[in-house]
Amino acid sequence: MAGKLYALGPLQEQVATLRAGGGRLVLTNGCFDLLHVGHVRYLQAARELGDFLVVGLNSDASTRALKGPERPLVPAAERAEVLAALACVDAIVVFDEPTAETLVAALCPEIYVKGSDYAEAELPEARIVHQYGGEVRLLPAIPGVSTTALVARIRGTDPAPSDGRQGRAPRRRAG
């Protein structure tokens, strides 16, 4: 994982090398607490938009501020390690702010990606992206697939599968 986890300065150098070779940077960000199929599909689709995918990962403090005192469920170092194991992720940078505005301004990605559960107008990062001529892309989310839904299923407060199928019917006793 050490090869994919960056501090901002060295990441900026890596991005400069990418651009010098004609590459396009894609940036996304999030908490990525309890990685699930929705995250994986989203990250794979984001990577297909360019040549190098950077994931801005909310720190533990930032995740707590956004999601509440019981989150994150998984510490940032472990979330980063899981993300680094994905072939579609080229680099990870952990940040402490509640939004990725500073990260976007520092890296100026050609494409900034978020899920369709956001509206572009409500993304503070979008304003920055548009200022330097970048593109904001909202990728489709899988309905019902989220860390919140997964936690509810684990806790038994929402046992329905995320693919819309109903749970199996209870087995009937013979006789």
Residue 146, pLDDT score: 83
What is the predicted pLDDT for the residue at 95? 98
Mean pLDDT rounded to a whole number for the chain: 89
Q: Which stretches of the chain drop beneath a pLDDT of 50?
A: 162-175
Can you give the pLDDT at residue 167? Answer: 36
Residue ranges and CATH numbers for the domains of the chain are 8-155 (3.40.50.620)
Best CA proximity match to 63, nearest among 88, 100, 28, 92: 100
Contact at 8 Å (CB) between 106 and 129?
Answer: no
Quick one: pLDDT at residue 151? 83
Q: What is the pLDDT of residue 168?
A: 32
The pLDDT of residue 170 is 33
- The dihedral over CA atoms of 167, 168, 173, 175, expressed in degrees to the nearest 10, equals 130
pLDDT given at position 175: 40
* CA distances for 61 relative to 5, 33, 73, 75, 78, angstroms: 18, 13, 12, 10, 15
Residue 158 φ then ψ, to 5°:
-150, 85
**pTM to 2 decimal places:** 0.86
Q: In the β-sheet with 111-115, what is the strand arrangement from edge to edge?
A: 91-95, 52-58, 25-30, 111-115, 135-139
Q: Which amino acid is at 73?
A: L
Q: Classify residue 121 by its DSSP letter.
A: G
